[in-house]
Structure 1
Amino acid sequence: MGSSRPVTPDDRGASGPGDTAAPLVAPVRRVLLAGCDGVVARARDVTREALYDWGWLPARTPQARARAEDALLVVSELVTNACLHAGGAQELRLRGRPGLLRLEVTDTSPAPPTPRTPHQGSRPGGHGMYIVQRLCSRWGTVHHPEGHGKTVWAEITGA
């Protein structure tokens, strides 16, 4: 288990090959997305509900509010990428503990996400993984041992 993307100088602490993320203790939210209509909106709704239940919302400070909004944007990007490039999002798992939220999106493709480099803000499309890299403290890919897809995960630290 580890990141399958190359490590870049601006990784902001992202894991490298062979690194494993520390397991998170409950609470965990899980929602199946395969076959759902409006999967991005559904994923955002489930995430927003978890943020309220886990005390990230309502936010006490503008910085905390920004981190919660970052989480919603990252979920949108991960699910959208799975739909556009990986055969569709199959499942969303959210794992929380004080000060840390882990977002996991499972899809059917074994291919890792590949951020466009260099990133060109003026070019349409290709911004999803760049956004994930910028907003998250770490992210990576776990390939399923049976060879059926992967899980892309990202971690956001709380304010």
Structure 2
Amino acid sequence: MGATRQQPPSGLGPEPDRPASPSARPVAPDGAPDGRGAHRETRRLTLNGASGIVPLARDFTRQALYDWGWLPAASADRRAAAEDVLLVVSELVTNACLHAEGPEELRVTLHDKVLRLEVEDRGAGEPAPRTPHRAGRPGGHGMFIVQRLCLDWGVARNAEAPGKTVWAELAAPA
């Protein structure tokens, strides 16, 4: 898990229909079938130049979870699933802030029973969990948390410009 690769198991891959000049506010969900008849919705938030990026990303994702019925949670398992999503968003965005010249865009996609988070940045680095992981050591826990909470995660390089998209997938609550 966590290897650099272009296509994750869900087959979602990087979003090919990115807007040429993204706005500073979220784009409405597409809600379109994906060619296999499955329902798919994507929300986008431009983060480049925004202030308070991590709370902004969490609030944006929380609203998507409300809209998609993950919140308010009817059970402890559903509440834990939503909290995991918000924690992973925080870790991915924070990692881009600290190590990748800041995030450009957050994409949240719901596809059948998988929620996919993508953070696009201009950085050249390769995110990886610190090994060996030492729980008592300050810092360096973000990608370890992502690895532990997610079904899968990875990196898709941008072939047309500097940067990459770090993606992570979580299971929808039962």
Q: 1:152 is paired with a residue of what secondary structure?
A: strand
Aligned residue among 8, 12, 26 for 1:23 = 12
Taking the aligned partners of 1:85 and 1:111, their CA distance within structure 2 comes to: 7
Equivalent runs, 1:48-87 vs 2, <5 Å: 48-87=62-101
Q: Structure 1, residues 105-135: CA drift from partner, whole Å, max 9, x if none?
A: 0111122102110100000000000000000
Aligned residue among 46, 50, 66 for 1:32 = 46
Aligned to 2:172: 158
Alpha-carbon deviation of 1:61?
A: 1.5
Q: Do 2:4 and 2:155's aligned partners in 1 also have CA atoms closer than 8 Å?
A: no
Aligned to 2:55: 41
State TM-score, norm by structure 1: 0.87
Gaps of 5+ in 1: 1-13
* Partner amino acid, structure 2, of 1:153: W
CA RMSD of aligned residues (A): 1.5
18-27 vs 98-107, which deviates more? 18-27
Aligned to 2:122: 108
26-35 vs 106-115, which deviates more? 106-115
Q: 2:117 is paired with a residue of what secondary structure?
A: strand
Aligned to 2:142: 128
Gaps of 5+ in 2: 14-33, 35-39
Q: Do 2:2 and 2:128's aligned partners in 1 also have CA atoms closer than 8 Å?
A: no
Alpha-carbon deviation of 1:60?
A: 1.9
Q: Do 1:90 and 1:108's aligned partners in 2 also have CA atoms closer than 8 Å?
A: yes
Alpha-carbon deviation of 1:158?
A: 1.5
State TM-score, norm by structure 2: 0.79
Taking the aligned partners of 1:34 and 1:17, their CA distance within structure 2 comes to: 24
* Partner amino acid, structure 2, of 1:126: G
Aligned to 1:7: none
